[in-house]
A = this chain, B = another copy of it.
Amino acid sequence: MKRFFATLLTVTFTAVAAAQHPSLLLTERGVAEIRAARGEVPAFDRSLEATLRGADDALAQPIVVPQPKDGGGGYTHEQHKLNYYRMFDCGVAYQMTGEAKYARYVVDMLLAYAELYPTLGYHPVKLSGVPGRIFWQTLNESVWLVHTAIAYDCVYDCLTVKERRIIEARLFRPYADFVMNGTSDNRANNAVFNRMHNHGTWATAAVGMIGMAMGDDDLVDRALYGSDKTGRTGGFIRQLDCLFSPDGYFTEGAYYQRYAIWPFVVFAQCIEHKRPEIGIFRYRDGIIPKAVATLTQLAYEGRFLRFNDALDKGYDAQELIYAVDIAYNADPSNKQLLDIAARYQNKFLPTDAGYAVARDIARGEAEPLRFRSALYRDGREGDEGGIAVMRSTDPALNSLVTLKATSHGLSHGHYDKLTMAYYDNGNEVLTDYGAARFINIEAKYKGHYTRENKSFAMQTVAHNTLVVDGRSHFDGDIKRSSKYHSEIFFADFERPAVQIVSAVERNACEGVTMRRTTAYVTTDFLQYPLILDVVKAESAEEHCYDLPYWYNGHMISLDFPYERALRRMTTLGERNGYQHLWVEAEGRNTASSTSCFTWLVGDRFYSLSTATTPQTELRLVRAGANDPDFNLRGEPAYFIRENGKRNHTFCSALESHGTYDLQVEQSANLTASCRGIEMLVDTPECTVARFTFEGGRTVTLCVAYMGDGSSVHEAEAGGEQFEWTGYYDVRM
């Protein structure tokens, strides 16, 4: 009833609003303000000039609308992408200058497309289950239409009625119909349009925005409420309900959240302009601004945390310019967004929103971006685990630990339950490989995810987490993995000296319960924070437990004897990613029950000390074997193996230490402080571990695996009594 009423209202309002152009990303008022302010906000002027230059470059060349032929990165693919950027630039240029030549360019190109489009069948590159016509996949068709709708909105008033009729009848309506419904032969597009997936969001945004530009309320309603207009199975509004957790987390992770956010903010901006009565930015407790905020938190030094299928992108990605500008325009009280725009982007949308951001930065309104430790719950209801991000509280430090205990994350998820990563001093320290892909590079499997993405990057062994018997979690079966999620057992970021998170995974390795407790500890005797990492495996059967720590930087030392592969190198295994690992060195520590690996990243040292026995197999490995096309980066890992164990707890302390200034050639504190790790108690109920450091200083970690925040726990070891209330205790 409520929705029906909203729809009715909508129709009334938009019937009036339809006559106004532009009204998608630009408004008449916005354009007037921007034109009046030329020369007053130099940073915005530079962005606008880039757009105008893009428009002039477009005009300087003939319009080329080639017959579709190539896949991603290929000529026709790139030309059609270039075309929508050019139309966008020219559309904006027309609004900003009033010069008809820009509008004419858009119209002429649209007429060329209107001639081509009716002749097209499916794209000749048959690589997608959801094939497009201009592009090899419909996803790109949607992106084309989003940009083109904005351009059309900008030049709408310049077209003759006949031109509009031709372009709408031969291009936009069949195009929107194709994106929304597919063809009678292939209804895949319709499934995507109504699907709760970011490709579906691109499709709804595309159809909705061209509907708005044409003044076609029916298309807009279908975009908002699904192709059946009920709102029950599809549509943008339902996507807002389903695609983010209540904490604004997108299940595929930060890299794809970056991509997913784009159609959300663009279409939301249009909805706010055309159907303000929906209050789209307040919808679901403000899920859009919340998703933008969460995304900006899932970053380090402006680069998105690299987990699942992720490449190196950050705040400077074009999607983030859209996200930051539009989110700020929706809520100008959030001055931290200005800081992101000023420090990392310095590019602004040539729209009302971009202008507002640039103007307010120029007015000095930016406030420093503040990071916080947080748990981002996964799942539509927030009940499918989550990812914990623990950050340094001391602003002089710059470190971050993650523990990932989420659901699988759709097709871009990895088999990496309870994986962790560490960032410090501006660098990745314990790393996540991310995706094996050379996006848009034809020579590398046409720019798609390479074979090694599945055979290595997705496999458990490519991550800093437990591998049981050399098998990936859920045996690498996405169907099984998608049924389950890890659980956050507890998380506490409130104590000044200790931040901690503990998670459990019961399904990934049959018959084995995995737990990981990771703490970020500030001591008064170590130079930098101490990371404690306790990975506990429990099973009724004997297993081979592997725990790799993938690292960035250069190996400095191992404190036990090892044999280096000198003249010949072989692989660690045959399958599940192990076939990609060269064994560079192997050793055992018979002299001490704690083994330490030290490496250098940038100007700082990192030492990982782990409780081991003479049976523990310790290796240094490197990715790159069985990689016929050189698709892998040769990243290194420190690899700990405990064989023939029912239960085993990997207990490690990671120190960041040392001052290493090459410019003045001064160094200090280059060796680890940790002198020993004792597992005092290790039962199904709890673990008590003591870490001893130089000078006899100790840190004792007590973790309970049952009870709740008020339970009292007791344990005893060697006559020493331990008692604590709640999930954990850390004594120093």
Q: What is the interface of chain A, defined by CB distance below 8 A to chain B? A: 73, 78, 81-82, 311-313, 316-318, 438-444, 554-557, 564, 566-571, 579, 582, 584-585, 598, 600, 620, 622, 625-630, 633-634, 660, 662-668, 670-671
Q: How far is the CA of A557 from the CA of B447 in the complex (A)?
A: 13
CB of B564 within 8 A of CB of A317, answer no
Whole-angstrom distance from the CB of A295 to the nearest CB of chain B? Answer: 15
Q: How far is the CA of A557 from the CA of B73 in the complex (A)?
A: 15
CB of A625 within 8 A of CB of B660, answer no
CB of B556 within 8 A of CB of A439, answer no
CB of B554 within 8 A of CB of A630, answer yes
Residues of B within 8 A of A567 (CB): 570-571, 579, 625-626
Q: How far is the CA of A622 from the CA of B584 in the complex (A)?
A: 14
Choice from B316, B620, B671 contacting A443 with Cβ under 8 Å: B671
CB nearest neighbor in B for A443: B557
With A440-B667, A441-B660, A662-B311 as known contacts, state yes or no: A582 contacts B569, CB within 8 Å. Answer: yes
Q: How far is the CA of A622 from the CA of B582 in the complex (A)?
A: 13
Choice from B566, B630, B671 contacting A555 with Cβ under 8 Å: B630
With A557-B443, A633-B554 as known contacts, state yes or no: A662 contacts B312, CB within 8 Å. Answer: yes
CB of B566 within 8 A of CB of A313, answer no
The 10 closest A-B pairs by CB, nearest first: A555-B630, A440-B667, A443-B557, A569-B569, A564-B628, A566-B626, A318-B664, A317-B663, A443-B556, A567-B571
CB nearest neighbor in B for A312: B662
Residues of B within 8 A of A626 (CB): 566-567
Q: How far is the CA of A113 from the CA of B78 in the complex (A)?
A: 71
Can you add 8 more A-B contacts, CB < 8 Å, to A443-B556, A568-B568?
A73-B670, A439-B662, A441-B600, A444-B557, A554-B630, A564-B628, A567-B571, A569-B625
28 A-B residue pairs with Cβ-Cβ distance under 8 Å, sorted by A, are A73-B670, A311-B662, A312-B662, A316-B663, A317-B663, A318-B663, A318-B664, A440-B660, A441-B556, A441-B667, A442-B670, A443-B670, A444-B556, A554-B630, A554-B633, A555-B630, A556-B630, A564-B628, A564-B629, A567-B571, A567-B626, A568-B568, A568-B569, A568-B571, A569-B582, A569-B625, A584-B630, A634-B634
Most buried by B among A443, A626, A660: A443
With A554-B633, A634-B634 as known contacts, state yes or no: A627 contacts B564, CB within 8 Å. Answer: yes
CB of A570 within 8 A of CB of B568, answer yes
Whole-angstrom distance from the CB of A664 to the nearest CB of chain B? Answer: 5
CB nearest neighbor in B for A598: B443
Whole-angstrom distance from the CB of A549 to the nearest CB of chain B? Answer: 16
Q: How far is the CA of A627 from the CA of B625 in the complex (A)?
A: 19
Q: How far is the CA of A82 from the CA of B665 in the complex (A)?
A: 11
Q: How far is the CA of A585 from the CA of B569 in the complex (A)?
A: 14
Residues of B within 8 A of A630 (CB): 554-556, 564, 584-585, 620
Residues of B within 8 A of A668 (CB): 78
Residues of B within 8 A of A664 (CB): 318
CB nearest neighbor in B for A321: B663
CB of B313 within 8 A of CB of A662, answer yes
Residues of B within 8 A of A318 (CB): 663-664
Whole-angstrom distance from the CB of A421 to the nearest CB of chain B? Answer: 21
CB nearest neighbor in B for A567: B571
Q: How far is the CA of A633 from the CA of B600 in the complex (A)?
A: 12
With A564-B627, A569-B568 as known contacts, state yes or no: A441 contacts B633, CB within 8 Å. Answer: no
Q: How far is the CA of A662 from the CA of B303 in the complex (A)?
A: 13
CB of B667 within 8 A of CB of A78, answer yes
CB nearest neighbor in B for A82: B666
Whole-angstrom distance from the CB of A184 to the nearest CB of chain B? Answer: 32
Residues of B within 8 A of A629 (CB): 564
CB of A313 within 8 A of CB of B556, answer no
Whole-angstrom distance from the CB of A84 to the nearest CB of chain B? Answer: 11
CB nearest neighbor in B for A562: B628
CB nearest neighbor in B for A442: B670
Residues of B within 8 A of A556 (CB): 438, 441, 443-444, 630
Q: How far is the CA of A316 from the CA of B627 in the complex (A)?
A: 40
With A568-B569, A670-B73 as known contacts, state yes or no: A665 contacts B439, CB within 8 Å. Answer: yes
Residues of B within 8 A of A441 (CB): 556, 600, 660, 667, 670
Residues of B within 8 A of A311 (CB): 662
Residues of B within 8 A of A566 (CB): 625-628
Residues of B within 8 A of A620 (CB): 630
Whole-angstrom distance from the CB of A213 to the nearest CB of chain B? Answer: 23
